Amino acid sequence: MYSKKIHRILVPTPFAVGAVNTYLIEGSPLTLIDTGVKSSMAKSAMVDGLNSVGYGLEDIEQILLTHGHVDHIGLAGTIVEARSGDISVWIHEDDAIRITDYTGYIEERMHSYVEIAKECGTPSDSSIMGSQRVLADYFLRFGESVENVSLVQDGQKLPSGVGDLQCLWVPGHSLGSVCYIAPEESVMFSGDHILGDISSNPSLDFEGSLGISMLRYFDSLRRVEPFHKFKVLPGHRDPITNLSERVIDLFADYDEKLHRAENTLTEEPISIYALSRILYGDYPDDSLVLALAETKDIVLILQQNKKARVLEIENVLYAVRIDG
């Protein structure tokens, strides 16, 4: 319990990030922020968490989704189905396709995984090559489409048992990522926009319309600064009690990565894949796309700052240093 009316329900996921934090807000409408994946273990954890404070799946009246990644939306359809009365499912319009056409989105997303691997020069014997079908089938297990959703906009206020929750649009981790601000409780539900001790993967929407996703994420980090006195309840792991310090640490971390990449580059072209191995080391296969997307963004930022140039050689992206 984080207040008399806010309860964390920890829901397991099959992913490396671990369990997802979902939050039940008592009052009218009975509100759930994020849902976890669609799995028997996740459903059991959700049911147990709700039961522990006197509720069931059928009692949820409003679901607020911080973004459209499956560990946050996957169980929404199950909850909607369990509800006998009206229920509202809110998501930002830029992430809506991820839940209204879950299958179509996953098929397209897995195609983009393979394409970025090829574009960045990943070796042809890498496990991701030719694995689009396997990847799609894997992720399709953990979510489903929910057709009737409501689209939340930046600045919009939605009712809850702790007063109106204000939507703050923070694109970066995903194009439609939002935080929900509860002024009466001095609480921010941050989704995956800000996490306490792990990266928010600001380049994850590499195929979206963010431009350089990492730069858009930086802008979104600045958007939360006015709420520096608020307690932050994130999508994973523990609450953040010093938001300003965390934002400073995040900027410092990415600044260090930019400088390290700049100092690594020479006049000899290096593929994005090879550079990612220098920056991030011997990362596992399930981190490949994240490492490639972030490395690509870093190089594009260096190019924008006239510190590097991106070249395409035989359909593969390379980077070279620009001196002076």
Residue 235 has pLDDT above 80, yes or no: yes
Which domains, from first to last, does the chain contain?
6-101+145-250 (3.60.15.10), 261-321 (1.10.10)
Confidence of residue 183 (pLDDT cuts 50, 70, 90): very high
**Confidence at residue 199, expressed as pLDDT on a 0 to 100 scale:** 87
Nearest Cα to 161, choosing from 14, 324, 2, 319?
Answer: 2
- In the predicted model, is pLDDT for residue 323 greater than 90? no
pLDDT-derived band of residue 205, with 50, 70 and 90 as boundaries? confident
Tell whether the model's pLDDT for residue 209 goes beyond 80.
no
Q: What pLDDT, in 10s, does the model give residues 40-92? A: 999 999 999 999 999 999 999 999 999 999 999 999 999 999 998 899 999 99
Q: CA torsion sign, 69 to 15 to 187 to 26?
A: positive
Quick one: pLDDT at residue 84? 80
Give percent of the chain with pLDDT exceeding 70.
Answer: 98
Q: Is the pLDDT of residue 208 over 70?
A: no
| Rounded mean pLDDT, 105-120 | 95
pLDDT digits (tens, 9 = 90+) for 124-174: 999 888 899 999 999 999 999 998 999 999 999 999 999 999 999 999 999
Distance CA 18, CA 65 (A): 18
Instruction: Using the structure block, give the residue that is written with the tokens 């399930």.
Output: 286
User: What pLDDT does residue 129 have?
Assistant: 86
Residue in the block written with tokens 């089938």: 137
| CA 27 to chain centroid | 28
User: Two tokens at 173?
Assistant: 């981790």
Q: What is the mean pLDDT of the chain?
A: 95
Contact present, 240 and 196 (Cβ < 8 Å): yes
Alpha-carbon Rg for the chain, nearest whole angstrom, is 20
* Residue 210 near residue 172 (C-beta atoms within 8 A): yes
What local confidence, expressed as pLDDT, does residue 2 receive? Answer: 67
Cα 311 from Cα 317, distance rounded (Å):
6
- The pLDDT value recorded for residue 253 is 95
For residue 239, give the amino acid letter.
Answer: P
pLDDT of 227 above 80:
yes
pLDDT at 286: 87
pLDDT of residue 1: 58
Q: Tens digit of pLDDT for each residue in 264-298?
A: 999 999 999 999 999 999 998 889 999 999 999 99
